[in-house]
Amino acid sequence: MDLRSRLATLGKEAQRRLFLVLGLRAGEGRRTALASAYHLGFVAAVVLIKSASNALVVARFHAQALPPLYIASALATGLVAWIAVLLQRRGQPRRIPRRGLIGASIALGGLTVAADRGTPWAVLGLYVYGESFATLVSIRFWGGVSELFDPRESRRIFGILGGAGMAGAIVAGSLAQLLGERVGAV
């Protein structure tokens, strides 16, 4: 047996043992791994966006700016959710994720450039963006995985997905602290 096939065998055995420890059954591993990786990345992104936007708002506008931003975030989230429903009713549900990703990327890029150039409203926009992004993507994620796994699988697997999200929060929180110390918070 050559080195490559020995490594492949060891990898498969490690995967089998991990799935056994996690309580995963045949056919659940790939779906669980992909959903966990997505959730880890999503939560990490939320932590980084919210850490940065909160620091910017408090530094430039002080804490008094936060209560109106909570209301603005709720209104923006509702508006974007309503637009998604309208697009879905038009019979284009498969285009929503792609269009949403493109639109969200353009909005984030534009707000970031504007904030970097000192435009005051852009910092407030980044805050609202972060809150709306976190809420809407989280709702879509949990809705999607509830369709991906049946109720019996969900009881076992949702804890794993939650753990992956916590891991993302820990990694991104540590990264935010490191970046804050090295680059600065504002």
Q: Is residue 119 part of a domain?
A: yes
Q: Which pLDDT value is given to residue 185? A: 64
Among 28, 58, 42, 34, CA closest to 180: 58
Which amino acid is present at 11?
Answer: G
Q: Which pLDDT value is given to residue 41? A: 95
Let me know the angle formed at the C-alpha of 52 by 99 and 76, rounded to the nearest 5 degrees: 45
CA distance readout (Å), 121 to 34, 47, 116, 132, 134: 37, 21, 11, 16, 20
In tens digits, the chain (186 residues) has pLDDT values of: 687 777 777 777 776 776 676 766 677 778 888 899 999 999 999 999 888 888 889 988 988 999 999 999 999 999 988 988 887 888 766 666 777 788 889 998 999 899 889 898 999 999 999 899 899 889 989 988 999 898 988 888 999 999 999 999 999 999 999 888 888 766
Q: Is residue 37 part of a domain?
A: yes
Q: Is residue 106 part of a domain?
A: yes
Q: Is residue 12 part of a domain?
A: no
Q: Is residue 174 part of a domain?
A: yes
| 41 alpha-carbon distance from chain centroid | 6
Domain span at residue 119?
30-182
Q: Which pLDDT value is given to residue 146? A: 92
Q: How many domains does the chain have?
A: 1
**Scanning the structure block, which residue is given the tokens 């490690």?**
14
Q: Is residue 7 part of a domain?
A: no
CA distance readout (Å), 53 to 23, 66, 85, 130, 165: 38, 11, 28, 7, 20
Q: Which pLDDT value is given to residue 142? A: 92
Q: Is residue 89 part of a domain?
A: yes
Q: Which pLDDT value is given to residue 93? A: 67
HSE (CB half, 13 Å, CA atoms) of 105?
A: 6
Q: 158: helix, coil or strand? A: helix
In the chain, DSSP finds a helix count (H) and a strand count (E) of 6, 0
Q: 166: helix, coil or strand? A: helix
Q: How many residues appear in the chain?
A: 186
Q: Which pLDDT value is given to residue 73? A: 96
d(CA 154, CA 142): 11
Helical segments of 90-150, H only = 95-116, 120-148
161 C-beta neighbours (distance < 10 Å), count:
20
Q: Is residue 21 part of a domain?
A: no
Phi, psi for residue 82 in degrees, rounded to 5: -65, -40
Q: Which pLDDT value is given to residue 70? A: 94
Among 136, 142, 166, CA closest to 40: 166
